[in-house]
A = this chain, B = another copy of it.
Amino acid sequence: MPVLISLPDPAARAHAARIGDRLGIEVTVPEIRQFPDGELYVRFDRDTMPDEVAIVGNLVHDTFLRVAFLAGTARDLGATRVGLIAPYLSYMRQDAKFHPGEGVTATYFGRLVSGVVDWMVTVDPHLHRYDSLKSVYSIPTTVVRSASSIASWVGAEIKQPVLVGPDAESVQWVSAVAEHCGAPYVILEKTRRGDRDVSVSSPSYPWNGHTPIIIDDIVSTGRTMLEATKQLRAAGSAPPMCIAIHAVFADALTEELVAAGASSIVTCNTIEHASNRICIREPLVDAVRSLLS
């Protein structure tokens, strides 16, 4: 019987508990602490592991070493196949060399993770210049789509939606949601001048009577959402609702978006945030079921 290994943060534990409950498999939460000098210590509350285990949690910031150490420990305790269930997959945005001398961290990170676990499941990775995770991950990967979860939420909450993609990259998310809920959609054009400096073209806006739903995969600084909101309002739209799959929030955002004329922001629960409203656990469970059975 496989075992799920949850990272100790509340979001990972909630995902692991749901998956474990649905699939009827045990969840174990390892002890992870730091020695006085900052080095990590990991320990499981058991001395053996079954052949199949999967680590649940996001590889954000400095989590990579934790996952590498948990995978190593699980193998020492008997696991022969270690998977990773990472609802949000980090390091997918630096996917090309934009300036001379730059590192393409997406490929280096993919190589590191592929050296540590045997398979990976993630929700809607930021695939922009790469067609597929195969370009950066040498292990088998499964991509869970949030589109049906988002479409269900939109269908239940919004009467006459028009979906809006803030830039060309967003068309994949917006069109998928549109297909699920049968709503029209429009894609804006974006110019990025820096991490926090973007502008979005003014669209023609023939959607009076509709509620615009801006959809993007990632909100980080929120500049893209903010510019799209401003342009829609300038074009005469009703207050847009903003939906992002991954709440990679770096700055406080909701107040600014509302001040710019949005009604609110809603995200999927791939990264824990106060704006989480759309649950992606059921499609995640389905993907894990087929990998752990």
Contacts and interface: CB of A to CB of B under 8 A. Distances in A.
Interface of A: 30, 35-47, 60-62, 64-65, 68-73, 76-77, 90-91, 93-94, 97, 99-105, 107-109, 111-112, 115-116, 195-196, 220-221, 248-251
Contacts of A97: 76
Contact of A220 (B36, B41, B116, B248): B36
Contacts of A73: 101-104, 108
Nearest to A45: B101
A64 B65 contact: yes
A75 to B, nearest CB: 9
Given A43-B103, A47-B101, A195-B36, A68 B112 contact: yes
Contacts of A99: 43
Contact of A43 (B42, B47, B76, B101): B101
A60 B62 CA distance: 12
Contacts of A64: 64-65
- How many chain copies does the complex carry? 2
A130 to B, nearest CB: 16
Contacts of A93: 35, 39
Contacts of A41: 94, 102-103, 105
Contacts of A111: 72
B107 A42 contact: no
B103 A72 contact: yes
A175 B76 CA distance: 35
A69 B103 contact: yes
A47 B100 contact: yes
A193 B113 CA distance: 36
Contacts of A45: 101
A10 to B, nearest CB: 19
Nearest to A40: B105
Given A100-B47, A103-B72, A112-B68, A251 B36 contact: yes
